[in-house]
Amino acid sequence: MVSEEKLLHLIIVEESPNDAEAIANLLRNAGYVVRHQYARDTETLIAALERHTPDLVICADGLEEASLSNVLDTLKEQKLETPVILVGDEANEPQVIEALRAGATNLVSFDQPEHLGLVVARERKNLDIRRRLQFFERSYQETERRCRALLDSSRDAIAYVHDGMHIYANQSYLEMFGFDDLEEIEGHPIMDMVAPSDHGRFKEFLRSYGKSENQEDKLEVECLSAVRGEFKAVMEFAPAAIEGEPCTQIVIRDQAATDPELAEKLKYLSKQDVVTGLFNRQYFMEELNVAVNNAVSGSGN
């Protein structure tokens, strides 16, 4: 089985197929398994690129039908960043500098096959690094997409904050504070989610957060919502990153939801009319529905 490190897919731009084969043989002698296509001008180069995307392009210097600039322009038009190694009769320092400025990866002399082998080895290594980077970037983007999906479906109210401003919040968080969509809260200060009576404590906590290993990562505060007014909650802080930018993740847990006694009290209060203290219409309708269902099923007294 051919080692991936030694397998080379090339396009060799030369005056004749024999000249292209000679370059391919130099690389075979250096230990590479070469799969190459021959191109003599821009038209045949485009055809070769459409058949297979190469690892490298090796281009003879001084060709009229396929100059270095033509080759580079063709690759750019095909949206490829394939390295181009220029091979010429000479490769003195001024010529190498000129080739590099023109966009070639390097200029190598025909009489220095060892130099060509070393340049190819370097570019092949760089290519492998770029491919791994692209793979990890795609994996990272997919992981981030899945994390967003999990966050959006989470019942916990979760937000990400940078320099005290919201940069992301999930649906539960938006609903908790009365926002219709993410755009409304982006750039909104986290301080606005805290009742004025707790602003001082909250500012002090933010100033000291992350400056010590033993720093507390939870804070009990009175939150302020546009839909429910003030309510007691616990904020949990953790370092995070969104799209590579460092930020702080904040999970807000409503104490009414985590304290059974308080939750029961709120449930009881929700059934009463605030002014009269009597059971309200909502409670009456719920009890009426229960009675009707029992009567229909024959279980009523």
Q: What is the pLDDT of residues 24-71, one digit of tens each?
A: 999 998 889 999 999 999 999 999 999 999 999 999 998 988 999 999
pTM to 2 decimals?
0.57
Cα 40 to Cα 53: distance, rounded to the nearest angstrom: 17
Q: Where do the domains of the chain lie, and which CATH numbers do they carry?
A: 7-140 (3.40.50.2300), 154-259 (3.30.450.20), 271-301 (no CATH)
- Stretch 161-186: mean pLDDT, rounded? 93
CB distance 159 to 188 below 8 Å: no
- Stretch 111-124: mean pLDDT, rounded? 92
Cα 107 to Cα 87: distance, rounded to the nearest angstrom: 6
CB distance 159 to 191 below 8 Å: no
Q: Which range in 34-43, 241-250, 278-287 is most confidently predicted, on average pLDDT?
A: 34-43
CB distance 10 to 55 below 8 Å: yes
The tally of CA atoms less than 13 A away on the side-chain side of residue 20 is: 18
Q: Extract the tokens encoding 234.
A: 């616990």
Cα 41 to Cα 54: distance, rounded to the nearest angstrom: 16
- Dihedral, CA of residue 91, residue 97, residue 103 and residue 104, to nearest 10: 20
